[in-house]
Amino acid sequence: MSKRHIKSISQNTTFELYDAQTMPMEDNGISHFALVDSLMNEAGRHKKSMLHFWPTKNLVFLGMQDTKLPYFSDALAIFEENKYDYIVRNSGGLGVVSDQGILNISLIIPNEDMDDISIDDGYEIMYSLVQDMFDVPVDAVEIPDSYCPGDFDLSINGQKISGISQRRRSGALAIMLYLSIEGNQNQRSHMMKDFYEEGLKGESSRWHFPDVNPDVMVNLDEALDCPVTVEKMQKNLIDSLESFGGHIKKGEYTPDILSDYEREEENMVKRNQRMLGDNFKICRG
């Protein structure tokens, strides 16, 4: 695959680095998505490029489609049994799992005319970065019986390690990736399988939900057959971005970002209250 897209957005470009470990906001699940939107606003205002790392506590990012399950409220109990909180995200269509063994990444770039970077271009940019991180082939093809399947599921030897989504706003694009690195991927997959089974209870639905097969998903440490950490993968991705001509500097939480954050967090809270109803709760600690 051509790597011209990643080269075009990274060559001689400074990326401001933001890390959830040092953010001044309370980590309540919603905070990560509110911050992404705030950073997108900043990127659009000032034509900045940004890199955002955000591993989380045990948390499931549900898609809006998941809320259409016939027995959605019953299905949410599966997460509580597994000691995972949940929110409804504002990007992507179906649920994905996050915890401290998974690295979430947002690459945020200016996209002034909205059509400068097509949807496919956006996926290819992140795919190129991930390919460059490893010495083994990484494929981009849908793994239909994984959770949150999509055309740009990233896999090694046929087993999914990662998924990509995008969020677009006026003037900016966020390409978002989760990377399963370590921890219990089998538990994550079985949890999502149980969630959909409990949510459907054998009934048909006009919405399509995956029949999750836990065997088709794997952590990087297993796929590569060597110890891998979230911190190591953060370094690898920075090295990859720099290999395409990018530069990294620490990002600053400007007054505009902090002001935007308050508004974006409120928007995310209202979204989750609307989607989850009585099941809504702020994730704390």
Whether the Cβ atoms of residue 20 and residue 32 lie closer than 8 Å to each other: yes
User: Is 283 an active-site residue?
Assistant: no
Query: How many whole angstroms separate alpha carbon 174 and alpha carbon 52?
Result: 10
Whether the Cβ atoms of residue 92 and residue 36 lie closer than 8 Å to each other: no
> How much of the chain is in helix, strand and coil states, percent to nearest 5?
40, 20, 35
Strand residue runs (E) in the chain: 14-19, 49-53, 59-62, 85-88, 96-98, 102-111, 139-140, 154-156, 159-169, 171-180, 247-250
Residue 52's nearest CA partner among 237, 282, 244 is 237
* Per annotation, catalytic residue among 148, 172, 176, 268: 148
Residue the block writes with tokens 């940019």? 125
Known catalytic residues are: 148
